[in-house]
Structure 1
Amino acid sequence: MSTPTIDQAARVFVDPRAYADEPRLHAALTQLRAHRPVSRVDQRPYRPFWAITRHADITAIERDNRLWINAPRPLLAPAYADDMQRSLVDSGMGLRTLIHMDDPQHQKMRAVISEWFRPKAMRSLQERIDELAQRYVEKMAQRGPECDFVQEIAVNYPLYVIMSLLGLPESDFPRMLRLTQELFGGDDEEYRRGLTAEEQLPVLLDFFGYFGALTAARRAQPTHDLASTIANATIDGAPLSDVDTASYYVIIATAGHDTTSAAISGGMRALIEHPDQRGRLRAEPTLMPSAVEEIIRWVTPVKEFMRTATADTQVHGVPIAAGESVYLSYVSANRDESVFAEPFVFDVGRDPNRHLAFGHGVHFCVGAALARMEISSFFHALLPRLEAIELAGEPQLASTTFVGGLKHLPIRYRLRP
């Protein structure tokens, strides 16, 4: 593939199809890191922004959450979608999740669920997650010798974990999966419900309708689950609004499984395409913690977040005015040659591994420990039984500008009983 020009390279950020074409994407990001690590992008239907591609610049921005705030533009969206979101928020109906908030409100809202994701809570979940991992490896064995690993295994295992934490009935899991794919898959022809913001709005309204009923039920009769914790939470002595409660459920129920699904399926592909690393990990299971970090770096399910400057400043010597927005390219940061030795080599023993797939600073992913545990448990369960595995067709990546990964991974395999 020919090297893109700088202007061509910068356009990958506003092209959802670029994330489904990894050679093109990484060629562009490599070009930008080397020659224009802070690039202005002005392409309709998006408002202008500055794309940040180097690891050091992204971490510096994320550390300074007073200078760089999430509101009013926490992620890349077309101008009409930004306008609709703001209108909905102003009317009391818009999505207001942790990624939309800044301190002190962000810190207070994050504290609502923090106990569920502390090390002690994670240790108590370990046995249950190990059981679920074994269950889905057994499903592979029963489904073999071929399956679409994404659709039959990878989307369902983490979905089951997070839905169980919330205390939702198993009969509702398919609905949550469909709504999540529609919410995050608005740029993908296979997943999206409609082409415009108006056509996609019913997805959000469906979420709000479902979780509004759940909130009422858990307030009337609390149970020992995460849904009850959210429904009955208070901040400064007042209960959460219906919108804030529903928004909390939406981010937990979607990001809580979709990103982990992407990591597991991308990790499976990496282990298939790098049999030496698969053999190394199988022979040295003590490498699993570093292998999990490498899988997460390699896949980087969350492609970006955005921040807006509260004052005139500079990034990498480039002046950025108050009110202008920056796009934090985690995919680029996780291949930064100045941070990672041989960044395009998949290495299950990579150490150190200072990837930014979970973000950095006060907005570091609250569910990171859970995601790591799920990935580790699954491959711990799978690898000892795996006798052979290969691709049975072409992997397909979702078109996206925000969250995503593989949507199809046909594999052929043999597992021992």
Structure 2
Amino acid sequence: MSTNTINTAIPDLSDPATFVPGVPHEALDAIREMPGLYWQPAAMGTLNGGFWCVTRHEEIIEIEKDPATFSVQWGPFYPALDEPSPFFEGHIMYSDPPLHSRLRRAAARSFGPRVVANFDHWVREIVVEVLDDIVARGEVDWVADVAALVPSRVVARVMGVPREDRQQIVDMANDVFSAVVKPDSGAALMEVVPNIYAFMEKLRLAKLRDPQDDMATVLAQCVERGELSQPECLHFMEILLVAGFETTHTLIGQSMRLVLENPEIAATVDKSLDTVGSKAVVEEFLRYVTPAMNMARTVTRDVEFRGVQMRKGDLVQLFFTAANRDPAVFTEPHRFDPARPSNDHMAFGNGAHHCIGNALARLEVRILFEEIHKRGITLRLNGEPKRGWSTFINQLFELPVTVAQGPISGPDNT
């Protein structure tokens, strides 16, 4: 198989500006159809001047099964670190097995599907509270007033963050995702993470003094039992905050944008909630939106992969958003269809680093659409949506809407 380099028809996938108009699905489709892998030159953020674009579903699975060759120690996203950082030692997102396996086991039992199923009643209370507020106001920014509030309040509840500190969760998560897209992401992260870790240490000590039925208490007690070190605990608390907020935040924002801008999708969602159910609708939103568009791995040794010679230090971008529209796996991949007989998407990653909080994110979005549908809330666009500036997250910054009672619909529906 051949190696593909600069193609004038392919936009610069290392440039956040490429993603501002929308996810470049046509370009990713073209890359997937090329033989071999596409090499994207990059002026910064890599060791060898660019990254390999992996767009096929089966190839991502293969890479994720070999962490010894494709490591996260240089960072799980682009731009990558120049070298593994001592600061991130023991951070689950920067760790390969077997360390990663130990870290995941220490807290995974508190985030399994059976545990999360018991969260339904209070997650629903949070959703209803938020929806009551936007109905009363009539005109809101869906991103700020719903997509940010629901996950921040849920994460605060899961972790045991006091109510008065909810806004800090939003602010800290936004600070992290602003840092990771900067040219010198390592330095930018080091400017914002000390405040997050100071907040988490304060929370950890509070939970030791006054244990509660929450995730911060579980993690604090893991330290006391010697299952986690104090730095490992703080790393875990930080990633719960950031990942627990951002994936759901993006999914809620972009899902509603699809409904509001596309009458066909609006009608499909409305019908599907009554036929195939909310779980299937959420799975299709996850596939179609893919909040984290990609993750990165660094090659640890010279290796041949699918006929392509990779060098030690090469960065590999796993484009989940492309894999989720791979025609080898999904029939009519660019069609929104909750009634798909199977939906083996990668919206939460794949392999050992499959998102530990996926069940909670699914629950939040499922309940949100159930309540909108049940309560007959109608949303309409009230201005121009504003996309984010990221090669990593399928961000939506603003979605102005009007809110009223009635069936959910797109802009041209009656």
Give the deviation of 1:53 after TM superposition: 1.4
Percent of residue pairs bearing the same amino acid type: 28
Q: Does 1:135 align with 2:129?
A: yes
**1:166 is matched with which residue: 145, 159, 168?**
159
| Contact 2:90/2:231, CA 8 A, preserved across alignment | yes
SS at match of 1:7: coil
What residue number does 1:18 align with?
A: 18
Give the deviation of 1:311 after TM superposition: 4.3
SS at match of 1:116: coil
What RMSD over aligned residues (CA atoms) do the two structures have, in Å?
Answer: 2.6
**Which one has the bigger helix percentage?**
1
CA distance 1:200–1:99, shift in 2 (3 Å): closer
Q: Does 1:206 align with 2:195?
A: yes
Q: Does 1:291 align with 2:281?
A: yes
Query: CA separation in 2, counterparts of 1:226 and 1:251?
Result: 12
What residue number does 2:412 align with?
A: none
SS at match of 2:38: strand
Query: CA separation in 1, counterparts of 2:213 and 2:377?
Result: 41
CA distance 1:346–1:244, shift in 2 (3 Å): same
What residue number does 2:344 align with?
A: 354
Query: CA separation in 1, counterparts of 2:281 and 2:405?
Result: 21
For structure 1, which segment, 380-389 or 135-144, has the greater mean C-alpha deviation from structure 2 after superposition? 380-389
The one-character-per-residue Cα deviations of 1:358-399 (angstroms, maximum 9, x if unpaired) are: 111121111111111111000000013335432222211111
Q: Does 1:221 align with 2:210?
A: yes
Query: CA separation in 1, counterparts of 2:341 and 2:293?
Result: 23
What residue number does 1:147 align with?
A: 140
Structure 1 gaps of 5+ residues are none
The one-character-per-residue Cα deviations of 1:234-264 (angstroms, maximum 9, x if unpaired) are: 49x6353332221111100111011101111
**1:233 is matched with which residue: 193, 210, 222?**
222
What residue number does 1:321 align with?
A: 311
Query: CA separation in 1, counterparts of 2:188 and 2:306?
Result: 40
**2:252 is matched with which residue: 264, 268, 272?**
264
Q: What is the TM-score normalised by the length of structure 1?
A: 0.87
CA distance 1:37–1:170, shift in 2 (3 Å): farther
SS at match of 1:12: coil
| Contact 1:6/1:31, CA 8 A, preserved across alignment | no
What residue number does 2:39 align with?
A: 40
CA distance 1:195–1:69, shift in 2 (3 Å): closer
| Contact 1:258/1:404, CA 8 A, preserved across alignment | no
Query: CA separation in 2, counterparts of 1:390 and 1:315?
Result: 48
Query: CA separation in 2, counterparts of 1:210 and 1:388?
Result: 38
What pairs up with 1:110-121 in 2 under 5 angstroms? 110-121=104-115
SS at match of 1:302: coil
Structure 2 gaps of 5+ residues are 408-414
The one-character-per-residue Cα deviations of 1:320-379 (angstroms, maximum 9, x if unpaired) are: 234433110111111222222222222232332221111111211111111111110000
Q: What is the TM-score normalised by the length of structure 2?
A: 0.88
CA distance 1:331–1:213, shift in 2 (3 Å): same
| Contact 2:127/2:367, CA 8 A, preserved across alignment | yes
CA distance 1:16–1:245, shift in 2 (3 Å): same
| Contact 1:307/1:327, CA 8 A, preserved across alignment | yes
